[in-house]
């Protein structure tokens, strides 16, 4: 490449050369092809600058070069930084990067400020920073001798562009020429080595300097921070004090940053004291750094006291304190400060708004994110990509895909579609909405694809079980030179695990090992979580132990998945062990883990423990409130659930669709008929939530349990959505309870079409026929099952006694069966004395009553309860889990057992818990 590219005319090249000192010289008389009327003798910097600012006068690259010729001829202009800057900008506007670089390197006396603005301007016009270094290398090879200032600039650009070896060459050149003692060069060298080679190399440069002023100490502190070593940065600051080197504002700001990064609040307070001793507490930049340090150390009150002590606050001060409150979820205080800015004559800028957007998103307040964006637009402030991305993420979390498409149009119209972060967020939104075709379309339009974009789409295909698509994308990724990273493989692993393909998942683990990658905590957590979601709870525990054996420490997600496994099996004791581990490791303070603990205790039958954790939590997300409300629902405490819902709304938490599913479940499980209708009607009118099939199913269940079967049937016929299996299943269960054969047939017919291979639907219909003594129809339905190759899934029950799980099933007898039946006969005798009468209708077989009573004694929940009474002697509650719904007789028997033995019995059948105390059940027989 020539010094000036072919695009440049030879006019300037013939007019200028450089002497040995790198100064431009006029070597010939130039005759431009056309002329500008510039009076050379009286031309001043100001007058020439006016020509540049006049878009009509300087409207082509040729005119820029003519002006450049005049500048070279006149000594009073050739050394002007202002004119040089105008020339650079003009060349960049016309995409003549080479000429712009020639002016930058050779055309004027550089200072240490202009290089940063030049770099930003160069990039803004589409230039590559590496071109700057290439031009420097070519000029250097042609014999141009640069002074220490330009070498300082080159080193800083090397650091930014990570040009490791060119920086080393420059360093070698400095040593040869004796420039290596220049303090500014040493500072640039430390910055370069700190960024490109690590703190150790920067330290070597630092140690070579016999005298170290504050500039070098600052670079040492910055190098330590850049390499994520905040404590070393603080060590440098301490050494400065021992050597009586006075810190400046930059030093203090970086030291406070080190305190916030390293969690060194005590050291931060000491620096605060240092400011008072040296009368530096009035410095705005330092005060803002103090506010930021206290905020990131969870000391918002101290941050506020610093803010309140400031006599004058700039925009950065307001933004810092608002960010402090918002990031910690104190949104009322943040908004008061936001509105208080106006009284201080400070106008919120894009940073202020973006801070509010990101903080609300971080705390799961998705509706508020969109409200803030709307207010921002009303205030006539143009959003930037950092404003748009939280809004897209909020829309994605709310699953408002139609609004998401509108936002996509807004992005396109306002030119944000070229922003990589916005594109990736849009792609992720479509993936989460199951719009994989649109996600792929966004991906195809991306000119630059980073690893995040590839991983997001691969994860989308994997999560939906489209593994062929995921593998094709993986192969394409490798062909285009993008190597899969740990996230890529973990996305595949997670997909296999979620879809129950554990063997394929383990194959991915082996592939990772073969590639030299050690499966990390995300890999193991994916396996644990996948198994939990597929009901393979014991496999989850097994993989957890393997993970620990491999030396991988669990993270918050691991513990949450593990608690999900315990909840699935109602392993209360194992769950308590994990809870204790969380307390020892401070994991219980995380909102996701705390919510998982609540879920575990709820599903293990310990509602009180779940409620205690809920009340202990300082910060609760919508999911936390939903979890607790659903807990009250499945434990038949509907009134407490509705009360908690009201408290949730009073706390400013906006309910979502899941909240109303939990709320309506409270109503249907506790027979709160009127309340259920009220909340269902309020969904649209008061909360703008469109009811989904889950809500309609709850309402059918509510009507059916109350005996309003005809009304339930009318409700189904007028639903705006097509009934699914859950709706027909609710109706069929209600028909069985109330003996309504006609509607039962309709519900069963629809269920047999929707779920032809689900045996439980046939069993319920057989039970309905048996209740009505229609044994021929029972035989007919059983034959239909047999013809379809279906078997009746026998239920089982289990009880955990002193860390050992005992399972009771009809297929395999318990080892202590003899003693259990002996105890049960005595128990039934006691129960009959206080009024227990076996419910023979709970036996759906055409046999006599004596045989039916014998059959009732074989029900697995009765065996488990009896065994618990035999083995648990300390008066603790008997906790039994049954895989299917219990019959009426077992429900009645459990009430009598709790009365005659004075023991609390907690029995879970399916998803609901029944608490039996003193002859009563928490469900009030509404089940």
CATH number, domain containing residue 433? 1.25.40.10
pLDDT score at 40: 47
Least Cα distance to 797 among 809, 810, 784, 789 occurs for 809
pLDDT value, residue 735? 94
Residue 613 has which token pair? 């954790």
Confidence grade of residue 765 (pLDDT, cut at 50, 70, 90): very high
Question: Is the pLDDT reported for residue 696 higher than 90?
Answer: yes
pLDDT band at 624 (very low <50, low <70, confident <90, very high): very high
Among 478, 505, 528, the domain-final residue is: 478
The answer to whether 561 touches 532, Cβ cutoff 8 Å, is: yes
Query: Which whole number is the average pLDDT over 594-608?
Result: 93
Which of 210-224, 235-249, 517-531 holds the top average pLDDT?
A: 517-531
Is residue 73 assigned to a domain? no
How much is the pLDDT for 909?
86
Predicted local distance difference test score (pLDDT) of residue 44: 53
pLDDT: is 678 or 237 the higher one? 678
**Residue 419 resides in a domain:** yes
Residue range 857-873: mean pLDDT, rounded: 93
Average pLDDT, stretch 38-43?
47
Q: Is 34 a residue whose pLDDT tops 70?
A: no
| pLDDT grade for 56, boundaries at 50, 70 and 90 | very low
Look at residue 20 in the predicted model and tell me its pLDDT.
36
pLDDT value of residue 770 = 87
Cα–Cα dist 474/461, whole Å: 11
The 10s digit of each residue's pLDDT in 835-854 is 999 988 888 788 888 998 99
- Give the Å distances, CA to CA, from 485 to 65, 222, 391, 458: 49, 30, 28, 12
Q: Is 550 helix (H, G, I), strand (E, B) or coil?
A: coil
Distance from the Cα of residue 470 to its chain's centroid: 22
Residue 13 pLDDT > 90: no
DSSP string over 733-778? HHHHHHT-HHHHHHHHHHHHHH-TT-HHHHHHHHHHHHHTT-HHHH
Question: Does residue 265 come out as left (phi exceeding 0), alpha (psi in the -120 to 50 range) or beta?
Answer: alpha
Between 519 and 182, name the one with better pLDDT: 519
Look at residue 364 and tell me if it is in a domain.
yes
Predicted pLDDT at 80: 64
Same domain, 256 and 312: yes
Count of all residues that appear for the chain in the document: 927
Helices (H) then strands (E): counts for the chain: 50, 8
* Mean pLDDT score, 251-255: 86
pLDDT the model gives residue 683: 93
pLDDT of residue 2: 31
Task: Please indicate, yes or no, if residue 642 is contained in any of the structural domains.
Answer: no
Residue 33's pLDDT is what?
33
821 with 913, same domain: the answer is yes
Indicate whether 749 pLDDT > 90: yes
Same domain, yes or no: 808 and 910: yes
25 forms bridges with which residues in the sheet? 17
Distance between CA atoms of 497 and 68, rounded to whole angstroms? 67
Average pLDDT over residues 535-545: 87
- Whether residue 446 is predicted with pLDDT greater than 60 in this model: the reply is yes
Domain count, the chain: 3
Q: Domain check: are 804 and 850 in the same one?
A: yes
Residue 720: pLDDT over 90: yes
> Using one digit for the tens of pLDDT, what is the confidence trace for 424-435?
999 999 999 999
Q: Kindly state whether residues 272 and 357 are assigned to the same domain.
A: no
DSSP H helical ranges for 651-689: 657-670, 673-687
The structure tokens listed for 657 are 């669709």
pLDDT at 572 exceeding the cut of 90? no
**pLDDT per position as a tens digit, 277-330:** 877 777 788 888 888 888 888 888 898 988 988 888 889 889 989 998 898 888
Using the predicted structure, report yes or no on whether residue 887 has a pLDDT greater than 90: no
Q: Are residues 278 and 373 in the same domain?
A: no
pLDDT for residue 141:
73
Clarify whether residues 372 and 329 are in a common domain. Answer: no
Query: Do 558 and 544 touch, CB atoms closer than 8 A?
Result: yes
**423 lies in some domain:** yes
Q: Are residues 296 and 358 in the same domain?
A: no
Single out the residue in 416, 450, 478 at which a domain terminates: 478
pLDDT at 29 over 60: no
Bridge partner list, 920: 917
Element (H, E) at 793: none
More confident residue, 578 or 113: 578
pLDDT attached to residue 39:
47
Residue 370: inside a domain: yes
CA atoms within 13 A on the CB side of 575: 29
Which range, 122-131, 136-145, 335-344, 555-564, has the best average confidence (pLDDT)? 555-564
End position of a domain, from candidates 321, 347, 373: 347
Q: Is the pLDDT of residue 111 over 60?
A: no
Residue 173 pLDDT > 90: no
Q: Smallest Cα–Cα separation from 501: which of 456, 455, 470, 545?
A: 470
- Residue 815 dihedral angles phi and psi, to the nearest 5°: -60, -25
Same-domain status, 397 and 323: no
**Within-domain flag for 598:** no
Tokens found for residue 307: 């803010």
CB 881 within 8 A of CB 913: no
Which of 413, 470, 403 is closest to 436 using CA atoms?
A: 470
Average pLDDT over residues 37-46: 48
Q: What does the mean pLDDT of the chain come to? A: 84
Q: Does the pLDDT value for residue 518 go beyond 80? A: yes
Backbone angles phi, psi at 799, to 5 degrees: -140, 140
Most confident of the following: 42-51, 141-150, 628-637, 683-692: 628-637
- Answer yes or no: is pLDDT of 167 > 90: no
Assess contact for 918 and 610: CB atoms under 8 A.
Answer: no
Task: State the Cα–Cα distance between residues 163 and 497, nearest whole angstrom.
Answer: 42
Instruction: Encode pLDDT of 775-819 as tens digits.
Output: 899 999 989 988 888 887 778 899 988 888 899 988 888 999 999
Interatomic CA distance for residues 618 and 237, integer angstroms? 36
| C-alpha distances out from residue 365 to 87, 92, 359, 391, 483, Å | 50, 44, 9, 11, 36
DSSP strand pairing (905-909 vs 804-809): unpaired
Looking at residue 135, its pLDDT comes to: 77
Looking at mean pLDDT, say which of 103-107, 412-416, 862-866 comes out highest.
Answer: 862-866
H/E segment holding residue 43: none
What is the per-residue pLDDT for 795? 81
pLDDT at 349: 92
Q: Do 847 and 896 belong to one domain?
A: yes
Instruction: Tell me the per-residue pLDDT of 374-424, one tens digit each, with 9 for 90 and over.
Output: 999 998 889 999 999 999 999 999 989 999 999 999 999 988 888 889 999
Q: Is residue 902 part of a domain?
A: yes
Report the percent of the chain where pLDDT is more than 90: 39
Between 112 and 148, the higher pLDDT residue: 148
Domain of 264, in residue numbers: 244-347
Same domain, yes or no: 915 and 818 = yes
Q: How far from 437 is each of 430, 462, 489, CA to CA, in Å?
A: 8, 14, 22
pLDDT reported for residue 22: 34
Q: Residue 545 pLDDT > 90, yes or no? A: no
* Element of type H or E holding 880: strand 878-882
pLDDT-derived band at 1, boundaries 50, 70, 90: very low
Cα–Cα distance for residue pair 628/653, rounded to 1 Å = 14
523 Cβ contact partners less than 8 Å away, ≥ 6 residues apart? 486, 489, 490, 493, 509, 512
Indicate whether 417 and 473 sit together in one domain: yes
How much is the pLDDT for 79?
Answer: 59
Answer yes or no: is pLDDT of 702 > 70: yes
């Amino acid at each position: 490449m020539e010094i000036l590219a072919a695009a440049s005319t030879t006019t300037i090249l013939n007019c200028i050369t450089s002497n040995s000192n790198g100064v431009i010289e006029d070597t010939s008389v130039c005759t431009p092809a056309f002329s500008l009327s510039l009076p050379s003798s009286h031309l001043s910097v100001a007058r020439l600058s006016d020509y540049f600012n006049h878009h009509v006068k300087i409207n082509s690259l040729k005119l820029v070069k003519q002006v450049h010729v005049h500048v070279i001829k006149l000594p009073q202009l050739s050394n002007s930084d202002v004119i040089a800057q105008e020339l650079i900008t003009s060349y960049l506007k016309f995409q003549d990067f080479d000429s712009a670089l020639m002016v930058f390197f050779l055309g004027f006396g550089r200072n240490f400020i202009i290089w940063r603005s030049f770099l930003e301007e160069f990039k803004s016009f589409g230039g590559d920073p590496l071109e700057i270094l290439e031009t420097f290398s070519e000029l250097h090879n042609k014999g141009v001798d640069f002074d220490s200032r330009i070498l300082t600039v080159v080193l800083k650009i090397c650091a930014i562009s990570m040009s490791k070896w060119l920086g080393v060459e420059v360093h070698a050149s400095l040593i040869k020429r004796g420039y290596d003692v220049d303090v500014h060069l040493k500072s640039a060298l430390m910055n370069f080595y700190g960024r490109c080679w690590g703190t150790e190399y920067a330290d070597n440069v630092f140690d070579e300097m016999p005298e170290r002023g504050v500039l070098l100490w600052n670079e040492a502190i910055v190098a330590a921070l850049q390499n994520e070593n905040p404590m070393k940065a603080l060590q440098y600051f301490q050494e400065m004090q021992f050597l009586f080197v006075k810190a400046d504002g930059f030093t203090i700001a970086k030291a406070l940053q080190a305190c916030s990064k390293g969690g060194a609040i005590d050291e931060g307070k000491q620096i605060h004291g240092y400011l008072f001793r040296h009368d530096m507490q009035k410095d705005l930049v330092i005060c803002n750094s103090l506010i930021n340090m206290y905020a990131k150390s969870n000391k918002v009150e101290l941050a506020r006291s610093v803010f309140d002590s400031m006599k004058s606050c700039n925009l950065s001060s307001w933004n810092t304190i608002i960010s402090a409150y918002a990031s910690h979820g104190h949104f009322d205080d943040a908004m008061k400060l936001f509105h208080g800015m106006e009284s201080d004559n400070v106008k919120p800028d894009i940073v202020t708004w973006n801070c509010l957007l990101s903080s609300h998103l971080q705390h799961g307040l998705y509706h508020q994110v969109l409200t803030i964006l709307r207010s921002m637009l009303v205030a006539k402030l143009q959003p930037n990509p950092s404003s748009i991305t939280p809004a897209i993420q909020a829309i994605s979390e709310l699953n408002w895909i139609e609004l998401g498409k509108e936002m996509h149009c807004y992005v396109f119209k306002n030119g944000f579609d070229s922003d990589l972060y916005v594109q990736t967020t849009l792609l992720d939104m479509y993936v989460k909405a199951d719009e994989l075709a649109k996600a792929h379309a966004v991906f195809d339009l991306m000119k630059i694809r980073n690893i995040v974009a590839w991983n997001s789409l691969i994860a989308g295909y994997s999560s939906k079980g489209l593994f062929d698509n995921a593998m094709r994308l993986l192969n394409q990724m490798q062909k285009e030179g993008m190597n899969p990273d740990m996230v890529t493989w973990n996305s595949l692993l997670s997909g296999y695990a979620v879809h129950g393909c554990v063997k394929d998942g383990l194959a991915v683990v082996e592939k990772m090992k073969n590639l030299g990658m050690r499966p990390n905590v995300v890999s193991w957590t994916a396996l644990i979580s996948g198994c939990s979601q597929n009901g393979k709870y014991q496999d989850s525990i097994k993989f957890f132990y393997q993970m620990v054996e491999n030396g991988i420490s669990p993270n918050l997600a691991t513990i949450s998945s593990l608690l999900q496994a315990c909840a699935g099996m109602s392993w209360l004791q194992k769950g308590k062990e994990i809870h204790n581990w969380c307390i020892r490791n401070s994991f219980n303070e995380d909102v996701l883990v705390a919510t998982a603990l609540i879920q575990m205790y709820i599903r293990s039958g310990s509602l009180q423990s779940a409620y205690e954790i809920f009340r202990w939590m300082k910060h609760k997300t919508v999911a936390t409130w939903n979890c607790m409300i659903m807990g009250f629902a499945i434990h038949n405490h509907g009134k407490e659930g509705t009360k908690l819902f009201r408290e949730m709304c009073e706390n400013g938490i906006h309910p979502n669709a899941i909240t109303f599913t939990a709320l309506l479940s409270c109503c249907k499980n506790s027979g709160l008929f009127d309340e259920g209708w009220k909340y269902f009607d309020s969904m649209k009118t008061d909360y703008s939530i469109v009811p989904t099939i889950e809500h309609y199913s709850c309402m059918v269940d509510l009507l059916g349990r109350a005996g309003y079967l005809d009304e339930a049937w009318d409700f189904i016929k007028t639903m705006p959505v097509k009934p699914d299996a859950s709706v027909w299943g609710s109706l069929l269960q209600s028909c069985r309870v109330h003996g309504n054969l006609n509607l039962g047939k309709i519900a069963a017919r629809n269920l047999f079409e929707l779920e032809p291979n689900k045996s439980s639907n046939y069993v319920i219909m057989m039970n309905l026929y048996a209740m009505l003594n229609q044994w021929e129809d029972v035989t007919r339905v059983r034959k239909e099952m047999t013809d379809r190759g279906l078997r009746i899934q026998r239920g089982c029950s289990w009880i955990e006694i002193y860390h050992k799980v005992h399972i009771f099933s009809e297929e395999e007898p318990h080892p202590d069966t003899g003693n259990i039946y002996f105890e049960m006969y005595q128990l039934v005798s006691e129960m009959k004395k206080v009024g227990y009468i076996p419910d023979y209708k709970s036996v759906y077989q055409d046999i006599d009553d004596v045989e039916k009573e014998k059959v009732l004694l074989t029900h697995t929940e009765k065996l488990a309860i009896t065994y618990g009474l035999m083995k648990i002697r300390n008066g603790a509650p008997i906790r039994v889990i049954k895989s299917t719904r219990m019959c009426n007789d077992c429900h009645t028997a459990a009430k009598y057992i709790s009365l005659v033995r004075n023991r609390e019995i907690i029995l879970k059948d399916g998803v609901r818990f029944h608490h039996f105390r003193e002859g009563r059940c928490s469900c009030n027989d509404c089940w």
